[in-house]
Structure 1
Amino acid sequence: MAKLDERIGFIGGGNMAFAIGSGLIGRGIVKPSQVLTSGPHIENLARWREIGAGTTDENNEVVEHTDIIFICVKPHMLEPCTTALKNTYVPSAKDGNKLFISVLAGTTVKSLEDKLTFFGSSEIKIIRTMPNTSMQIGEGCTVYTGNSHVTHQDLEKVHLMLNSLGVAQQVPETMIDAISGLSGCGPAFVYTIIEALADGGVKQGVPRQMALQFAAQTLLGAAKTVLLTGKHPAVLRDEVCSPGGSTIVGVHELEKGNLRATLINAVEKSAQRSAELGKK
């Protein structure tokens, strides 16, 4: 696995930031000493210190001392965050080489550029990403897009980082909100399905812990089958549904409960909400 020499910064040390940072350290892409994370309450950054990363309660220190900076605050905190940075900003000869990576839902590249206009270089490099929390176990699903100032080398570094934590793909920015609804929010939908399947098992007399393990493994196995065989899910489903068997009866119940329509609607509403968050 290739390694990066750059220092990696995180403005905001919450769950998504920690999934990325701990994943990069765990897979040897960077050393703990290369990582610096900021947050308003330094006591909340204890888990970062436990993995050897540096911490601070000053965002400007992250900008000053790191080369690749992940912006991991909530979308509504972007304005006060960048305003505070502007008030403490000290120009540096290294500014033109810094790369900002946003994980903010619904926040466009143009909006990020506007918020960071105070930064020394007029050609500030920005990449917008949409990751998901499965990055923490190396099974993430991330898309990204860069502005016109991002170089091919920058994109290679971002791809190395994100692809080491799962699957990563560069896409047009117009697709990102839709993918946010699909893979960004999708893990929560899948956790709900796992819980519901386990509840079904418990109702039929399966012990709770066993039901949860079997439900999760069933989804894992089915997902791997789709990815490794390349078959359409409908084809794989038909292979399980024997004529007059128990599976087709269960599938019928799913259809009566509008499971597919409900999931389609969930992705659509989440994608719409993602776009809305960036406009507030």
Structure 2
Amino acid sequence: MRLANLDGRAAVIAGDSAVDVAEASGGRFSADPQAAFADWDGFRDWAASADPARGKPFAPEELGPPVPRPAQVFAIGVNYAAHASEAGYPPDSTPVTFTKFPSCLAGPVCEVELPTGTVDWEVEMVLAVSREAVRIRREDAWDHVAGLMAGQDLSERTSQLAGARPQFSLAKSFPGFGPTGPWLVTPDEFDDPSDLAISCSLSGATMQSARTSAMIYDVPELLVRLSRVCRLFPGDLVFTGTPAGVGNARSPKRFLRPGEVLVSELEGVGRLTQRFTAAPDGA
């Protein structure tokens, strides 16, 4: 099942068309995409039988973030060995964890204003939590995953690295710095949800390319460790980390420029497309 946010309304994607959830369910389920997580199992079961004939065509530009208002957004740093090496961070005994504030979330196709000349790309697989939980067991972890999305952890490196201590969360939460989508895909849609190709390209040139099976801490391990500390809620998001190839680690460093287009892809899910604009004079 594929859950989308189409002009602010929950929709199930069937091929090239979208079935409006509230209309097709006769009001059983809300038009609000976030509300699907209140009864995720019931919603998923209903969506599996939704009639594709009720679908209508749509444009990618009409899509918003599939999970628009998560209670919590967890973001994992240095979760691929090659990226840890290029960034100068040896893999730690515990995942580096921070947040992206939910106001930065955006849909899969959008324009993003560059606040400085040092904004970097970080393609990531993003998961949504399906049910409330603490102390998840590893063998049960995938049962707590509602679905997967492509994501970008856009990062403004000047403010991130300006002080004696990094400002990860603020530097990664400017408007539009958390594009996700194009829709949320349930794990049963994949042959192996733990091994997906992930990549991004900038104006046609490949910047990052890896497989999610190369993560140091896989999805079950992340959920086990996060849930030992935090109570997880339905609809929470986890940005699971980025592979090697970020601009800040290149020589010379390479950052996003106005007019450039960034395309991010996750196998079996789809792509994100961001076009970048300059900040207004004096901003």
TM-score interval, normalised by the smaller of the two chains? under 0.3
TM-score by length of 2: 0.24
- The TM-score with structure 1 as length reference comes to 0.25
Q: Larger % of strand: which? A: 2
Q: Which of the pair has the greater relative contact order for Cα pairs under 8 Å at 6+ separation? A: 2
| Structure with the larger helix share | 1
Higher Cα radius of gyration: 1
